[in-house]
Amino acid sequence: MDLRETDEQQLLRSSVAAMAAKYGHGYMLEKARTGGKTTELWADAGAAGYLGVAVPAEYGGGGAGMVELSIVAEEIAAAGCPLLLIVVSPAIAATVIATSGTAEQKERWLPRFADGSVRMSFAITEPDAGSNSHRITTTARRDPAGGWRLSGTKYYISGVDETDATLVVARLEDAASGTLRPAMFIVPTDTPGMTFQPIDMAIHSPEKQFTVFFDDAHLPDDALVGGEEAGLAALFAGLNPERITVAAYSNGLARYALRKGVDYAKDRTVWKAPIGSHQAIAHPLAKAHVEVELARMATTRAAWFYDAGDHAAAGEAANIAKYAAAEAAINAVDAAVQAHGGNGMSMEYGVGTLIGAVRAARIAPVSREMILNFISQHTLGLPKSY
């Protein structure tokens, strides 16, 4: 593994950064305040091929991997205008369909993932399941007249109102054993029987969170991703990319916050010298920089393992990267806000507005406590604690 980026990766990073700089944090805040969507930014990123960098080349994508998609997610976030739907649409949904979908599903969806003309949300969490996916109760059953019937409720589902379809994790009943096993369905947003309502969130973001209801929603036979035996493999195909891109998203926000904090500390003078000359201001920013760089290396390592096909190593590395990046981002934003003093809580300076966004990454898509459970059990060999 070589941590030095290739010429192509460096060009991708600089190109994405230049595109995102045209939008910036003010664009994101205005969309959040007015209830608007980041349609223009998404369209630009899609037209440039950035959203499809990890889609196989035979379907019109860049044919690269998770390293490159992480670069895209990080650089857009580093401009202060992160796109949460990169995590659920190109990272989860497109990866699941590329690795586990049928030939027809790949032909139908992947070219549109490649150019950004389709967006797909991801629905796994339920009100009574949380991190315990074994308690998922959303169930699909065969319809005697053909197709499937889907019933259940999903919770904290991002961006349903601006996506074309939702990739839904459900359970199928095994007719022979009577047991339930996981399966994934592509559910167009206008499917009869599918409804959703927004969750009133403390975090203000253009991407909203929803409770989604499936009331005996009818789906065609080909809505099932990869067939009845593909469910578990298909699900796991999307979880590591999710963690990796959330880490990249957090790293980008952390870099944005640090840049704002450092610039302010260089310019702000209260007594005889800029406040950045005082260790009480400089050291927290320096410490945050160290933590962010370590998190970025962890993220690259996880993406590299994933792209190399070493999924056992990628599982551990993706969890470590997500944990490290969330913690680093929280500390970076805190240091930047503190460097600004009272101005850190002002909308004008654009750092206090990041508090909720980075704090959420400590919880979702998997809490830091569940990551520590994973490391304790699978890496350290300690007894399972839950």
Which band of pLDDT confidence, cut at 50, 70 and 90, is reported for residue 178? low
- The number of residues in the chain equals 386
- Name the residue among 266, 149, 158, 128 with its Cα closest to residue 219: 149
The owner of tokens 């990454």 is 361
Q: What is the pLDDT of residue 176?
A: 61
Q: What is the pLDDT of residue 229?
A: 76
Q: What is the pLDDT of residue 241?
A: 97
In DSSP terms, 182 is beta-bridged to: 171
Q: What is the pLDDT of residue 133?
A: 77
How many CB atoms are closer than 10 A to CB 59?
19
The residue that leads in pLDDT, 288 or 134, is 288
Residue 193 in any domain: the answer is yes
- For residues 30 and 140, state if they share a domain: no
> d(Cα 33, Cα 41) in Å, to the nearest integer?
17
- For residues 36 and 113, state if they share a domain: yes
Position 260, amino acid: K
Q: What proportion of the chain, given as a percentage, has pLDDT over 70?
A: 98
CB under 8 Å to 165, separation ≥6 — which residues? 118, 120, 121, 186, 187, 188, 189
Single out the residue in 74, 96, 118 at which a domain terminates: 118
Does residue 193 have a pLDDT over 70? yes
> d(Cα 203, Cα 353) in Å, to the nearest integer?
9
> d(Cα 176, Cα 383) in Å, to the nearest integer?
33
- For residues 249 and 135, state if they share a domain: no
Does residue 7 have a pLDDT over 80? yes
Is the distance from CB of 114 to CB of 50 less than 8 angstroms? no
Is the distance from CB of 92 to CB of 127 less than 8 angstroms? no
Q: What is the pLDDT of residue 177?
A: 63
How distant, in Å, are the alpha carbons of 373, 380, 381 from that of 385?
Answer: 7, 13, 11
Which band of pLDDT confidence, cut at 50, 70 and 90, is reported for residue 134? confident
35-76 tens-digit pLDDT: 999 999 999 999 999 999 999 999 999 999 999 999 999 999
The answer to whether the bond into 365 is cis (omega within 30° of 0) is: yes
Q: What is the pLDDT of residue 41?
A: 98
161-173 tens-digit pLDDT: 999 999 999 999 7
Does residue 200 have a pLDDT over 80? yes
275-316 tens-digit pLDDT: 999 999 999 999 999 999 999 999 999 999 999 999 899 999
- For residues 240 and 134, state if they share a domain: no
- For residues 64 and 176, state if they share a domain: no
Going by their DSSP bridges, the two strands 120-123 and 165-173 should be labelled as parallel
CATH number at residue 174: 2.40.110.10
- For residues 136 and 103, state if they share a domain: no
- Burial level of 239, CB count in 10 A (0-12/13-18/19+)? buried
Does residue 107 have a pLDDT over 90? yes
Single out the residue in 206, 229, 252 at which a domain terminates: 229
Provide the token pair at 63. 């044919």
- For residues 39 and 99, state if they share a domain: yes
CA count, 13 A, side-chain hemisphere, 168: 36
Residue 386 in any domain: the answer is no
- For residues 82 and 46, state if they share a domain: yes
The owner of tokens 């963690």 is 243
- Name the residue among 244, 267, 293, 264 with its Cα closest to residue 352: 264
Which band of pLDDT confidence, cut at 50, 70 and 90, is reported for residue 126? very high
> d(Cα 123, Cα 139) in Å, to the nearest integer?
13
Does residue 230 have a pLDDT over 80? no
In the chain, the number of structural domains is 3
Is the distance from CB of 77 to CB of 91 less than 8 angstroms? no
Average pLDDT over the chain, rounded to whole? Answer: 95
The owner of tokens 């109760």 is 137
> d(Cα 143, Cα 177) in Å, to the nearest integer?
19
How distant, in Å, are the alpha carbons of 37, 194, 212 from that of 189?
Answer: 17, 7, 10
355-377 tens-digit pLDDT: 999 999 999 999 999 999 999 99
- For residues 101 and 150, state if they share a domain: no
Residue 385 in any domain: the answer is no
236-251 tens-digit pLDDT: 888 999 999 999 999 9
3-state SS of the chain: helix, strand, coil percent to 5? 55, 15, 30
**Containing structural domain, residue 196:** 122-229
Mean of the pLDDT values across residues 146-155?
96
CA angle 368, 336, 30 (to 5 degrees): 90
